[in-house]
Amino acid sequence: MIKDKSVISTQKTIKTARRNKNFLNSIVAENETWCFHYDPTTKRQSAEWKSPTSPKGKKVHLQKSKVKTMLVCFYDSKGIGHHEFVPEGQTVTGSFYLSVLERLWKRIHRVRPEYSAPGSWFLLHDNAPVHRAVAVQEFLDRKQVCVLNYPPYSPDLSRYYFLFPKLKLSLKGRLF
């Protein structure tokens, strides 16, 4: 059943890509990640060159902070188009995600004018319940945003390998 849905979804995506030469450049992907208010540097980041005669340094074991914030990020082939942090205590619901999409809609027309025409860009987000909320689907239909279904259980297509590891590496050792 899941495999059949994945095959159908992939076939639709391939058909769309064959019809539109600019398909890959017009995908806006969405993802979320947790960002800690403090995440210690890695051993490699905190390494120092020392002479053989210098005293040995003390090892300090720092821990990640317990306080964290969720980052919602939209990006395409040109880079990050929109991002926002979920306010502390806010639960990500369909109505909250709808408000994020409304802000994305305004911003994307400002920073990516080539996406102004209806159907000129594709939204790629996972199958989370908030993404499937009726209000969210109605908004996307009204704005004529084409939604690409992310094939389930496809680690080879995972967006996680691209953006967040690089982003989080630059945040390590900083206090927010």
- pLDDT of amino acid 16: 79
Dump the DSSP string for the chain: -HHHHHHHHHHHHHHHHHH-TTTGGGEEEEEEEEEESB-PPPTTTT-----TTSPPPPP------S-EEEEEEEEETTEEEEEEEPPTT----HHHHHHHHHHHHHHHHHH-GGG-STTSSEEEE---TTTT-HHHHHHHHHTT-EEEEPPTT-GGG-GGGTSHHHHHHHHTT-B-
- pLDDT of amino acid 167: 67
Which residue ranges of the chain lie beneath pLDDT 70?
1-3, 5-6, 37-50, 56-67, 151-176
- pLDDT of amino acid 45: 47
- pLDDT of amino acid 74: 92
- pLDDT of amino acid 1: 57
- pLDDT of amino acid 149: 73
- pLDDT of amino acid 70: 86
- pLDDT of amino acid 47: 54
Give the domains, in start order, of the chain with CATH numbers.
Answer: 15-45+63-171 (3.30.420.10)
